[in-house]
Amino acid sequence: MDSLRIRIIPLVIAVGVATLAACTETLENTRSCPVLCPGQDLPVRDTLVDAVMFDTTVGTYPPIGAELYIPLARRGDTLDVRGVVRFDSLPQRAVTKAGDTTTAPIALVDSARIVLRLSTPKVRPAAWTVEVYDVDTTAADPLTAGALFRPDKRLGVRDFATADSDSVSVPIDGAQLLAKIKAKARLRIGLRVTGTPTPLEVRLGTIESGTPAQLRFRASRDTALRALTVNVLSTTPDNDPFLRATLTDYAIVVAGPPPPDAQSLAIGGIPAWRSYLRFDVPSRIADSTTVVRATLLLTQRSNPRSPLSGDRMLIRPQVVLATPQVTDLYKAALQVDATPGFFGADTLSLVPIQASLVSIDMVRLLRRWRNVPLADAQRAIVVRAAEEGTGTPQSLFWSRRATDPAVRPRLRISYIPRVDFARP
Amino acid sequence: MTTSVRSMRVRLLVVLVLALPAAAGGQGTLSAQGLGYPPGQLSTRARGTAGALAEFDALSPLNPAALSSIVRSTLYFQYEPEFRDVVTGTGSSRTTTLRFPLTTAMIPVGERFVVGLSLSTLVDRTWATQFTSRDPIGPIDTVTSTQTFKTTGAINDIRIAGAMRLGGRAQAGIGVHVYSGENRVTLSRDFANPGFAPFVDTTRLDYGGSAVSVGGQLRVARGVALALDARKGGRLRMREADTLRASGSVPDRIGAGLLVDAIPGATLAVRYVWEGWGSTQSLGRALFASNTRDLSIGADVVGPRVGRSPLLLRGGVRSRELPFSARGERTTESSIVGGIGLPLADQRASLDIAVERASRSGIAGVRETATILSIGIAVRP
């Protein structure tokens, strides 16, 4: 009997091993379809729909004063971008003798200069000149400063070469600065770049980029004394602190490309434009199917008038997050997702002078919109230049008002119809 | 029986069990079409005889009259993994499906009555398929994708039954069945092209139904007993997200068994079952459901003693039709089964083990084999 008991042990062990081996379920059968998979077909259908119900060009961007860099640019008569920097608080007293600790009213200005910090320019000119003007005015509209770049208002000028460093200074008239200090007035300077050949572009740092211009001067002829540094500050308008802060330094477009015609959508340029496209996907697709691919097809229109039209530029589609209650499209086009690729659309590269078909991936966005009530989303995107306001190229696309229907924006949708798959 | 003969039998069993994983084909979706694969509602003991003893087996929730053989309260639990192989013209796939197909509790009430509550699997719709294809998208495009269909769940039979002994030769029983269950079904398609977003759709089908069953057993002569039982199915409803999608009927069933125990220590049985699965046809979209027949022959014999208890040896063969098919062709299943029963703890518990090797066919070019390991534990506190 003991021997039988011993012999039964392998049987128990075998059953135990088999039981343990069956502890993990493996269900996937990879070889039996399609013969054993009736009714499991998932057909993918493809269609081209005019889903863009509204499109337009909105601009210009960035909003005044929000520039990371002021693009001081010239391109013949077609482009002239200037900058304004405000020093609304000038010092009245300073140490005037070396080793002294007491201050005295400023009665002398020596070595006055504007220090500019530059970013890598889009076009690095071989030789270029920066002119500084007194553009202070009592007018409320900050753009009126653009009319004050007159010879009688010029404070200083300096020539530069390509090799100059990214931090340059432009000397200004000390007497005029002293007069402002004594009058307790403010200093608002206008900056523009000149030179040949054009186009020219010099990117000037701003308070938004953390590299604003500075005013420096000495209140004595004693070179042992450190120069005074005056930082940018705007004190107007009184009633709008946000605008007051943004107007510390800003760009003025004195001359730029005209807005695009009605048949076109514009992207980029100086000033920069954005294309706004609102969608209405047919309910037979949006409500009754699962979209597996959605591609916005934009037909690019050659734009030989664009500055640097042969250069490659980057454009970025972004989803409009503004609700339908935001009816100002300029503002709506500012309320976009901040994360590149938020809805799966990558930054695209194109050349303005070329005419091509541009595809923007929108499948994740369409799926997102499906779950958002119409009252909560504009169901729109903007397509903008990746380097908005600093890169000069401008691309054009045919809008839904193009006379040729074949070049209008279209949405190519691949979808899987709703299938009753669960019932055997 | 000499020790050497017993030793040889035990060795044979060991070899049989050890050889199973290597030889196992597996069961595939040939058997699990439609509403799923019917495991048969057999206890491990009944399965060990290929189902032949089922009409007389108190643990199998089929014939309510069989409950009358219970003399002590019993709890029973069963585990049943199935290893499948499906061979088609494109290759073969091996899968493993885990089942807990039967749980039963039975209590004698007085000397003549027994009541029982059981939960068993009527049909198990647990399987998944996956295949990769390259399809045209629009006039010029093609896309490669992997499509997966997965379903898990079952329709379960909850039975409350009572049996009564009518003298020494006859027993009768009645059962009330409630059918409940769900299928969680997922359909997905993943595309190789990153420009496509994956498709996933998941839904759940809920089932609800009822039935009543009656049965009887009669010892017609010394060493010969007959069993007969029938189930009348009620409405079986299928709901999806609380919406009635379809309805049919729980299949009617008629089972008959003949038992011969004239030889001491040996029980031979034959069983025939008809089930009206065609009544479920209306539950599906493209369901190929048909009535089935099930014939089995088996034996349960007393083997060598292990400790103070005898080891029970079982075996049998079975041929049956499966209720659902992929394209309308009849799917059949042939099985050969072996098993043992081992009383434990002075008859207060028992361990049953059965191994079934099944072969299924029905579609030209497709063959499915399966090994089902069934382990049942009964406790009689």
The interface pTM score, or ipTM, of the predicted complex is 0.76
b/e map of B353-369 (b: 16 or more CB within 10 Å)? Answer: bbbbbbebbbbeebbbb
Residue A218 identity (one-letter amino acid): R
How much of chain A, in percent, has pLDDT values that exceed 90?
52
Are the Cβ atoms of A419 and B187 closer than 8 angstroms?
yes
Residue B3 has a pLDDT of: 43
Q: Which of B149, B185, B325 to substitute to test the interface with A, most A CBs within 10 Å?
A: B149
The answer to whether A254 touches A82, Cβ cutoff 8 Å, is: yes
Nearest-5° Cα angle at B181, B175 to B185: 155
Q: What is the DSSP string of B264-290?
A: TTEEEEEEEEEE-GGGGGGGSSS-EE-
Token reading at A165:
């460093």
Determine how β-strand A28-29 pairs with β-strand B127-137.
parallel
How far is A405 from A48, CA to CA, in rounded Å? 13
Contacts of B86 in chain A (CB under 8 A): 29, 31-32, 36
Confidence class of residue A211 from pLDDT cuts 50, 70 and 90?
very high
Phi, psi of A302 (to 5 degrees): -60, 135
Minimal Cα–Cα distance from B224 to chain A, Å? Answer: 33
Beta carbons within 10 angstroms of residue A221's beta carbon: 10
Q: Are strands B324-325 and B288-289 parallel, antiparallel or unpaired?
A: antiparallel
Phi, psi angles (nearest 5°) of residue B91 = 140, -165
Select the residue from A9, A12, A17, A36 to test the B interface by mutation, using most B Cβ atoms within 10 A.
A36
Name the nearest CA neighbour of A59 among A304, A319, A334: A334
Count the Cβ atoms, other than its own, within 10 Å of residue B152.
Answer: 17
Q: Cβ contact (<8 Å) for B21 and A21?
A: yes
CB-based contact A364 B197, cutoff 8 Å: yes
- Res. A376: pLDDT tops 90: no
Q: Which two tokens stand for residue A129?
A: 């000149």
One pLDDT digit (tens) per residue for chain B, 381 residues: 444 444 444 443 343 333 333 222 222 478 888 999 999 999 999 999 999 999 999 999 999 999 999 999 999 999 999 998 888 877 788 888 999 999 999 999 998 999 999 999 999 999 888 888 888 887 778 889 988 888 999 999 999 999 999 988 999 999 999 999 999 999 899 999 888 989 998 999 999 999 999 999 999 999 999 999 999 999 999 999 889 999 999 999 999 999 999 999 999 999 999 999 999 999 988 789 999 999 999 999 999 988 788 999 999 999 999 999 877 889 999 999 999 999 988 888 999 999 999 999 988 888 899 999 999 999 998
The span from the CA of A416 to the CA of B143, in Å, is: 13
The alpha carbon of residue A276 is apart from the nearest alpha carbon of chain B, in Å, by 23
What average pLDDT does range A277-301 have in this prediction? 92
- Rounded to a whole number of angstroms, the distance from the CA of A190 to the nearest CA of chain B is 49
Q: Is B43 helix (H, G, I), strand (E, B) or coil?
A: coil
